[in-house]
Amino acid sequence: MKEIVHYLNQFYGQIGGEEFADQTPIIRDGPIGPGVALQSLLAEEAQITSTIICGDNYFADHQDEALEKILALIDEKRPEMLIAGPGFNAGRYGLACGTVCDAVKSKFSIPVLTALYPENPGAEMFKKTVYIVKAPISAAGMKKVMPAMGKLALKLLRGEEIGFPEEEGYIPQGFRINVHTEKNGAERGVDMLIKKLRGEPFTTELPMPVFDRVVPAPALKDLAHAKIALITSGGIVPQGNPDHIESANASLYGIYDITGLDNLTADKYMTVHGGYDPVYATEDPNRVLPLDAMRAIEREGGFGELYNHYYATVGNTTAVSNAKRYAEEIAQDMLRNQIQAAILTSN
């Protein structure tokens, strides 16, 4: 029976939540968390003999040390495959899954596999070197992604030919290969054109990349009289998080009044952003949303006036589609309030 090592973060490895994100790499026997479901799909052909667990913060902050420890653990077990995740749209976790898979494939020359949401930065970085099953945006899609992971894992272990991305469910790797078909390219092209003209569904053989081109706004001509707004994706909100903005994959943004305030104080403001150490932002929210600096420049006459509200959301693994919607809505609100410019801060 083929032996597999499974890589998980602290949450899916059942160590704990964000408070355990500094967990150093450890190894446990057998499948854990999503590995249990994956094991059932592998049936009698393969066995998850060990699970490596590493905290997201530890891996992000100490990548070289984390990789060294993880590779040493894998070297001890000598598995025939490594599977990581699924990491869905979790940024730090996705990067760790991709990095571990890429390193293991390079060092041990064994099959590797993970599953990520296509917009996960880990998918963008490693899709050319690692088979990455296309996962839903969150763990709510766990049941949907696991069968595809199990099927592709078995094909990799058997050394079988891997089909096209749309057949196997992995993210396209950007490679082109020659295939034999009954119709030549001209005939297929005419068939697609006819279907397009008729309004019938068709699938292109060469999907073109979609580039989101944004024309920069012209420079401000009169900064001395301009009204400027503050926007942050660093999660700075009033204490209690009145709009319940999520710490990751945010589904909304908030607009908060700063009329008459010269700075943000820790007793009235907080950060809800996951994925980074909140200590410094909690001590002084102005480090993320620089209201104090903007007021000082305003008093010096550096610009006309600061808008009396600020816009806030969380950028941690937030989907591009949601971020685009926020931008469009915020831009319309800025136009209604005659705001000429904005300063956008992150974490």
Residue with tokens 């293991």: 104
* Separation in Å, CA 41 to CA 137, 153, 298, 317: 22, 10, 62, 29
Give pLDDT, residue 180: 82
* Separation in Å, CA 303 to CA 150, 202, 220, 266, 340: 59, 54, 11, 27, 11
Give pLDDT, residue 213: 79
Residue 165 CA to residue 185 CA, distance in Å, equals 20
Query: Hey, what amino acid is at 147?
Result: P
Per-residue confidence band for 246, with pLDDT thresholds at 50, 70 and 90: confident
Closest by CA to 222, choosing from 301, 311, 300, 295, is 301
Q: Which tokens belong to 168?
A: 């196997």
Give pLDDT, residue 185: 87
Any idea which of 60-64, 90-94, 207-211, 300-304 has the lowest mean pLDDT? 207-211
Question: What 8-state DSSP symbol labels residue 216?
Answer: P
Give pLDDT, residue 177: 76
Dihedral pair phi/psi, residue 267, rounded to 5°:
-80, -15
Does 347 have pLDDT greater than 80?
no
Q: For all residues of the chain together, what is the average pLDDT?
A: 92
Q: Which tokens belong to 124?
A: 């963008």
Does 204 have pLDDT greater than 90?
no
- Percent of the chain whose predicted confidence (pLDDT) is above 90: 75
Per-residue confidence band for 207, with pLDDT thresholds at 50, 70 and 90: confident
Does 249 have pLDDT greater than 80?
no
Give pLDDT, residue 210: 72
What is the strand order of the sheet 46-54 is part of?
26-29, 46-54, 2-9, 81-88, 112-116, 131-134
Give pLDDT, residue 225: 94
Residue with tokens 């070289």: 64
Q: Which tokens belong to 202?
A: 């068709």
Does 96 have pLDDT greater than 90?
yes
Core vs surface per residue 174-187: b (16+ CB within 10 A) or e: eeeeeeeeeeeeee
Residue with tokens 């001395």: 224
Does 61 have pLDDT greater than 90?
no
Q: Any residues with CB less than 8 A from the CB of 88 and at least 6 apart, and which? A: 94, 115, 116, 117, 120, 135, 136, 137, 138, 139, 141
Q: How far apart are the first and last CA of the chain?
A: 47
Nearest 5°: the CA angle 116, 89, 71 is 55
User: pLDDT tens digits, residue range 98-121?
Assistant: 999 999 999 999 999 999 999 888
Helix 63-77 vs helix 91-108: angle between axes, to the nearest 10 degrees?
50
Q: Which tokens belong to 338?
A: 């005659």
Residue 305 CA to residue 295 CA, distance in Å, equals 9
Per-residue confidence band for 288, with pLDDT thresholds at 50, 70 and 90: very high
Any idea which of 177-181, 222-226, 279-283 has the lowest mean pLDDT? 177-181
Higher pLDDT, 319 or 40: 40
Per-residue confidence band for 91, with pLDDT thresholds at 50, 70 and 90: confident
Per-residue confidence band for 274, with pLDDT thresholds at 50, 70 and 90: confident
- The answer to whether residues 303 and 223 touch, using CB atoms and an 8 Å cutoff, is yes
Give pLDDT, residue 292: 97
Top mean-pLDDT range of 154-158, 174-178, 218-222, 322-326: 154-158
Mean pLDDT of 25-54: 95
Residue 318 CA to residue 192 CA, distance in Å, equals 36
**Domains with residue ranges and CATH for the chain:** 2-168 (3.40.50.2300), 223-345 (no CATH)
Give pLDDT, residue 290: 97
Give pLDDT, residue 278: 86
Question: Measured over all CA atoms, what is the biggest interatomic distance in the chain, rounded to whole angstroms?
Answer: 74
Does 276 have pLDDT greater than 80?
no
Entry pTM: 0.67
Closest by CA to 138, choosing from 170, 116, 169, is 116
Give pLDDT, residue 60: 85
Q: Which tokens belong to 1?
A: 């029976």
Any idea which of 152-156, 215-219, 317-321 has the lowest mean pLDDT? 317-321
* 9 bridge partner residues: 54
Residue 347 CA to residue 328 CA, distance in Å, equals 21
Burial grade of 263 (CB within 10 A; 0-12, 13-18, 19 or more): middle
Element (H, E) at 266: none
Higher pLDDT, 209 or 143: 143
